[in-house]
Amino acid sequence: MQAADKLVDLVVNLSRVPWGKRRCEIQRELRSHIEDFVEAARAGGHGDDEIEKMVVASFGDPAQIAGAFAWVYRWERAAAGAGLFLLSSVVVTSLMLGAVLALQAAMAIGFGTPLQKVLASPHTAIEALDIFFTVITYTGLVALERLFDRNRSVKALTLLAVAFAVLTAVRMAVNYRAPFLAFGVVNGAFFRTTQVFVKTGMARTGIVAAALAVLGAISFPAMTFRFPYALAATCASWLTMAAAYRQMPNAVARMDATLWRRLQRM
């Protein structure tokens, strides 16, 4: 009964039920139903080939059944998604921050700047906040996309835009400035949009490089460089950040896939 097994597996896979135990339970129950059906059909004198066709015909559309299961377990899926989002955000932020700080520390040593001055500077705190808000926006979009069946990216971006608008209104009402949050949301949304809508890696790198150049052209004239090597150090720091952000989608995708796979085994 290969077709019947495939049918059950398809329902379970399309259902997006997160917990492995629950998925096994659904699989077991549907298989048990098909066994009953097959037994009754055999008793009715039908042959195996005919029964297989009967199972497929009477079972219903797998996508529709999976959709109904997805609706039943929507809150479990949302809770699992929120857990994955938090864990993924923390891990990817830590990895990116670690990598960026290590590279910048190495460059600082190269430029003859004391290490402490680099790592304990306000600039490092700003970078950490930028990375943090960018990563949570990116992983947040990935988590939101999981809630929808169609037009996932557009719907997730719309939800993010609404949430950001509400947050901005609240911030303005209480007169609280949070430039890192705004940077992170725009940056995270930019990287997610690029990842989803631009198909080749080369084109994505080109877009990131172009965006970096535009940002540099806008920002550099407004900056004052007190040391002769400051411009070079700033450029190197920016390139490091851009390279780290360029790698962020891969890190999030790997982390997300690993965590989701583990969850489905639990």
Which residues are near another protein by CB under 8 A? 11, 26, 28-30, 32-33, 35-37, 40, 58-62, 64-65, 68-69, 71-73
Candidates 159, 177, 143, 128; CA nearest to 256 is 143
- Asked whether 126 and 184 are in contact (CB, 8 A), the reply is no
Q: Which lies closer to another protein via its Cβ, residue 63 or residue 115?
A: 63
Report which of 54, 64, 58, 72 is spatially closest to residue 11, judged by C-alpha positions: 64
Residue 23 Cβ vs another protein, minimum distance, rounded to whole Å: 12
Measured from the CB atom, the residue of 27 and 168 that comes closer to another protein is: 27
d(CA 106, CA 119): 11
Minimum CB distance to another protein, residue 58 (Å): 5
Residues near 51 by beta carbon (within 8 Å), at least 6 away in sequence: 1, 37, 38, 41, 42
Shortest Å, Cβ 15 to another protein: 9
* 255 Cβ contact partners less than 8 Å away, ≥ 6 residues apart: 88, 91, 92
Alpha-helical regions (H) of 73-200? 74-111, 115-119, 122-145, 152-173, 179-197
User: What tokens were used for 10?
Assistant: 């398809």
Minimum distance from residue 49 beta carbon to another protein (Å): 19
| 69: Cα separation from own chain's centroid | 23
Question: Of the two residues 65 and 131, which places its CB atom closer to another protein in the complex?
Answer: 65
Q: How far is the CB of 1 from another protein (least distance, A)?
A: 15
> Whole-number minimum distance, CB 34 to another protein, in Å?
9
Closer CB to another protein, 36 or 48, in the complex: 36
Contact 15, 68 (CB under 8 A): no
